[in-house]
Amino acid sequence: MSVRLSEGAIAAIMQGEDVSKPVLQVINTRAIATGTGPPRYRVLMSDGVNTLSSFMLATQLNSLVEEERLSARCICQVNRFIVNSLKDGRRVVILMDVNVMQTADQVGGTIGNPQPYNEGPAAPKYHAPSNQFGKASAPSALKTPGGSQAKVVPIASLNPYQSKWTICARVTQKGQIRTWSNSRGEGKLFSIELVDESGEIRATAFNDQADKFFPLIELNKVYYFTKGNLKTANKQYTAVKNDYEITFTNETSVVPCDDAQHLPSVQFDFVSISDLENTPKDSIVDVIGICKSYEDVTKITVKANNREVSKRNVHLMDTSGKLVTVTLWGNEAEQFDGSRQPVIAIKGARVSDFGGRSLSVLSSSTVVINPDSPEAFKLRGWFDSEGQLLECASISDVRGGPAAGANTNWKTLFEAKSENLGQGDKADYFSCVGTIVHLRKENCMYQACPSQDCNKKVIDQQNGLYRCEKCDREFPNFKYRLLLLVTIADCLEYQWVTCFQDSAEFILGQNAAFLGELKEKNEQAFEEVFQNANFNTYEFRIRVKLETYNDESRIKATAMDVKPVNYREYSKRLIANIRRNAQLG
């Protein structure tokens, strides 16, 4: 089958005419070095009448050359292209979408006797092939609110060879102004992420531009952005899928656009939570999940600048049945409300290997609550119909310690023993619902060092002073510490569990100082506290580890957390177990 070239198409393109999907022949391709960025390919093409070497392949099409599908003498159809003007007046045609119609082997040689294109009045008229259709792919000229005409180009066509360009894009992420100070001076910056129908790109404003544009640019609004320096993107600081990024300059202008509501809000490339287990540390990923549970806000002090910041852990699950801990910071941590178990989409979270796999939201990340997207609707439907009944396994709690506030790995006491938990080199953790059937009052309290960070038992010197061997000091007083041994039971098994201060105070309903005073002054009241604590049911988070003492090995169980039973969640787990067992039967 012979293919007719679009004679006169090259001249028409260079003269700014509308050209729809021209069919051209590749004469030659040549790689152009771009430093640390991906290579760019210049293409010499022919329409049968003229040749032109000003064609440039968009980087997303590099594979066509590298896989030798786009090679010398092949014939291709250009479905979409952009014409850019350089500072010296030359024009470059960026090939955005190309289909190879016939390979070089099928064509055999150069079609016609094409001559190099020279601008002038004698350029041949373009005749579109009869089988071509569709609208012109050259950028449209839009009138900005400022009254000037500007050719709006797609983000995907931006490259460092352009000097004048205008894009129409939505702001999908806006960071706070950050400052820096080093040997070269000090300054400030803020970054935004922009998206249109063709792709996304990151833009950064420094110093004066930061002061100028920060109050003007609003999250999720659409603007015309004109002029700015384009350079190779530093992938260490961004997860935006673009080889380039924009730096605002004195010539940059930002003008609101009110008629581009069709532009996408945020572009995600979601990774399943189960796949995070095999994702390298410090990777930047997009995730979506249901807020299964969340913790209270805590305050931590950053060592680098001694600044106090807010922190909150949120536990997300998806259809893989896996759960991951996500850390929110600052205002997002303080303002987050997970009471209705919302769907949360996060763009640009960093993977950590602390305690398995966990995620941290960065200043450059975007967090969207209940996004208006098919993935969110599908996830909500799955969770409401069956997901909320599943017993999810946390990937943030892999033998390294518990994910605080996320009671996962639920077991009965019988299952914990039959699975030999705690018999390995490291401790194991599990959660269970158990009823206290016995408390050992003997030696449940001891007199400890009153120092804030020391809980060592003190020695009564019988002279009104108490000595701490660890601190190597004598004190006129002491503090009571609890070390309570209890027996818990469920429907199948029982287990001795050691409870330290916080867990013991919760079970007994009194603090250690008050209990110490009761023991000294009112033995009967002290006894009643223990009687009232019996036969109460709680959720226990238990650490089990094989320990050896006097050549005898035994499993030691320690309560890491004790709290009231969440009967709603407990009932869901029981229903899920009943359904699972019914299917097995």
Reported as a pLDDT band with limits 50, 70 and 90, residue 75 is very high
pLDDT at 584: 66
Reported as a pLDDT band with limits 50, 70 and 90, residue 408 is low
316 vs 325: CA distance, rounded Å: 6
Higher pLDDT pick, 2 / 139: 2
pLDDT at 37: 60
Q: Which residue stretches of 2-69 are H helix?
A: 9-14, 62-66
pLDDT (tens digit, 9 = 90+) per residue, 559-573?
A: 989 999 988 888 888
Reported as a pLDDT band with limits 50, 70 and 90, residue 497 is very high
Task: Judge whether residue 238 has pLDDT over 80.
Answer: no
Among the residue ranges 360-374, 475-489, 512-526, the one predicted with the least confidence is: 360-374
pLDDT at 131: 34
Tokens of 60: 């997303």
Mean pLDDT rounded to a whole number for the chain: 83
Reported as a pLDDT band with limits 50, 70 and 90, residue 273 is very high
Give the residue-averaged pLDDT of 234-249.
Answer: 82
Reported as a pLDDT band with limits 50, 70 and 90, residue 35 is low
pLDDT at 123: 45
With tokens 């599990």, the residue in question is 430
User: 499, exposed or middle or buried, with CB in 10 Å at 0-12, 13-18, 19+?
Assistant: buried
Reported as a pLDDT band with limits 50, 70 and 90, residue 34 is low
What does residue 572 show for φ and ψ, rounded to 5 degrees?
-60, -40
pLDDT (tens digit, 9 = 90+) per residue, 131-186?
A: 332 333 334 555 544 455 567 888 888 888 777 889 999 888 888 788 877 777 88
pLDDT at 138: 35
User: 314, exposed or middle or buried, with CB in 10 Å at 0-12, 13-18, 19+?
Assistant: buried
Among the residue ranges 251-260, 277-286, 334-343, 571-580, the one predicted with the least confidence is: 571-580
pLDDT at 304: 63
Q: Which helix (H) or strand (E) holds 360?
A: strand 358-369
Q: Which residues pair with 171 in a beta bridge?
A: 194
372 vs 377: CA distance, rounded Å: 8
CA atoms within 13 A on the CB side of 406: 31
pLDDT at 342: 92
Angle 170-174-180 (CA atoms, 0-180°, nearest 5)?
145
Task: Judge whether residue 63 has pLDDT over 80.
Answer: yes
Neighbours of 335 (CB within 10 A): 11
Q: Which helix (H) or strand (E) holds 377?
A: helix 374-385
Tokens of 548: 């050896």
What does residue 558 show for φ and ψ, rounded to 5 degrees?
-125, 130
**3-state secondary structure at position 182:** strand
Higher pLDDT pick, 2 / 160: 160
Q: Which amino acid is at 396?
A: S
Higher pLDDT pick, 90 / 270: 270
Higher pLDDT pick, 304 / 164: 164
Give the residue-averaged pLDDT of 318-336.
Answer: 89
What does residue 302 show for φ and ψ, rounded to 5 degrees?
-75, 125
pLDDT at 407: 44
pLDDT at 122: 43
Give the residue-averaged pLDDT of 29-52.
Answer: 80
pLDDT (tens digit, 9 = 90+) per residue, 89-147?
A: 677 888 888 999 988 888 888 888 888 887 654 444 444 443 332 333 334 555 544 45
CA atoms within 13 A on the CB side of 283: 14
Give me the percent of the chain exceeding a pLDDT of 90: 24
Mean pLDDT is highest, among 222-236, 238-252, 523-537, for 523-537
For residues 341 and 568, the answer to whether their CB atoms sit within 8 Å is no
Task: Judge whether residue 544 has pLDDT over 80.
Answer: yes
